[in-house]
Amino acid sequence: MSFFKTGKPFIIAGPCSAETREQVLATAAALVPINIDMFRAGVWKPRTKPGSFEGNGEQALQWLQEAKKLYNLKYTIEVAEPEHIELALKYEADAIWVGARTTVNPFHVQHLADALKGTGVPVMVKNPVNPDIELWEGAIERFLAAGLTDVAAIHRGFSGYSSAVGYRNQPNWPIPIELKRRRPELSIICDPSHISGKRNRIAEVSQKALDMHFDGLMIETHPTPDEAWTDARQQITPSQLKDILEKLVVRAEFTNDMGTQVQLEHLRQLMDAVDAEIIDLITRRMELSEKVGEVKKQANMTAYQPSRWREIVDSTTARCSVNGLDKDFIVDLYEKIHHESIRRQLFILGNTQIEIKK
C-alpha cells in the first residue's frame, strides 16, 4: 500500500504557518489524540507582496523536528527551492508538498524533481492556480520520472476573478475527477481550507471530497485561529477538527450487497442507452449545422451571429427552470455544442472539407 493509502481517509492537519516554537508544540500536542496521519506547517510562505510574514525557515524546521520526536508525529512542509528540500531532509521531514504557485512553472518543478532523485521522499503536488489539468498532471509526471513512487495530488481549488458561491478558490470538481480518471492509482487529497477560505465551510467541502472518493484531507488547524499570522479566517481549532472528522461519512466505493449491485447495473444500462441517444442527437445536430453553413455560404452570411446565440441561451435556460436543471451547466454544455457548430460552418464557408476523427 502506498504512503497515502491507509484504508481510511489520510488526514493532514496543522497551522498555516509555524509561527513560534510554543505554537507548533501546542498544536501538535492537541492533534495527537485525534490520530491524524501527518502534521503540517508552513515554513517558507510565498506571499503576494513583500513585507508580509514569509515564514521562519530553518528555525521552524527545528520546532517541527522537536514535535516529531516528542509526539511521534510525522510532518510535512511546502518546498519551493532545491535548498528547501536539502533542509527538509536534514530535519527529517516525512513528506513534502509543492505549492500551487510553484506547480505553474515546469522549469521550477523539474529542479525540485531533480533534487529529489534517489531520496524516496513522498511528494504531494498542489493543483496550479489556474484550472489547467495538463499542467497539474505534467508536474506529477516529472516527479514520477525522477523515480519517486509515493506521489499524490492535492486539490486546493483554482483562482478566479469571481468567487463561485463564496469560495476562496473555486473547486472546479471535474478537474480532479478527470485527473483521477487518467491516473486511478494516484492518491488525491483535498485541501478544504484553501477552497473554502472560511472555516464555516470546511466540513461541507470535506464531505463533498470524500463523497467523490478522494483519499484524504489537508485541514489547517491552529490553537487560536483568529490570532494566526496567516490565513486566520480559514483555520480551525483542534477541537473543531475533531468534531468535523467525527461527523464525516466515509462511503465505500463498492458494495457486496447483490440487490444493490443489480439495481445499479440496471440503472447504468439505462444511462448507457441514454448516452447513446445523446451522441446520435448531437451527430444529427452537427449535420444540420453543416446544412446551415451551406445556406449561409450561398447567402454570403457570417458563420457566427450573436443574436442567434442569445436566442439559444434564452430558450435553453427557460427550459432549465421547467425541468429543474442547473442553468450554468446547460449554458456550458451548449457553448461547446455551439462552438463545434461554428467550427463546422467555418470549414464550409472556407470551402474546406471537415476532418472527422474516427
pLDDT of residue 35: 95
Report in angstroms the alpha-carbon separations of 215 from 103, 130, 163, 212: 21, 23, 26, 9
In degrees to the nearest 10, what's the CA dihedral of 104, 107, 112, 118? Answer: 130
At residue 357 the predicted structure's pLDDT band, cuts being 50, 70 and 90, is very low
pLDDT of residue 106: 97
Q: Look at 204 and 54; give whichever has higher pLDDT.
A: 204
Q: Look at 79 and 358; give whichever has higher pLDDT.
A: 79
pLDDT of residue 352: 52
At residue 39 the predicted structure's pLDDT band, cuts being 50, 70 and 90, is very high
pTM above 0.85, yes or no: no
Report in angstroms the alpha-carbon separations of 207 from 37, 210, 238: 18, 5, 18
Q: Flag whether pLDDT at 344 surpasses 50.
A: yes
User: How buried is residue 12: exposed, middle or buried, by Cβ count under 10 Å (0-12/13-18/19+)?
Assistant: buried
Q: Which CATH number fits domain 258-349: 1.20.59.10, 1.10.510.10, 3.40.50.20, 1.10.8.350?
A: 1.20.59.10
Please write the tens of the pLDDT for every residue from 302-337. 999 899 889 998 998 898 888 899 988 999 899 999
CB atoms near residue 172 (< 10 Å): 18
Q: Flag whether pLDDT at 241 surpasses 90.
A: yes
In degrees to the nearest 10, what's the CA dihedral of 167, 168, 173, 174? Answer: 110
- Classified by CATH at the fold level, domain 10-247 comes out as TIM Barrel (3.20.20)
pLDDT of residue 358: 34
The chain-wide mean pLDDT, for the chain, equals 93
Please write the tens of the pLDDT for every residue from 113-162. 999 999 999 999 999 999 999 999 999 999 999 999 999 999 999 987 54
The domain spans of the chain are 10-247, 258-349
pLDDT of residue 166: 83
Please write the tens of the pLDDT for every residue from 171-197. 999 999 999 999 999 999 999 999 999
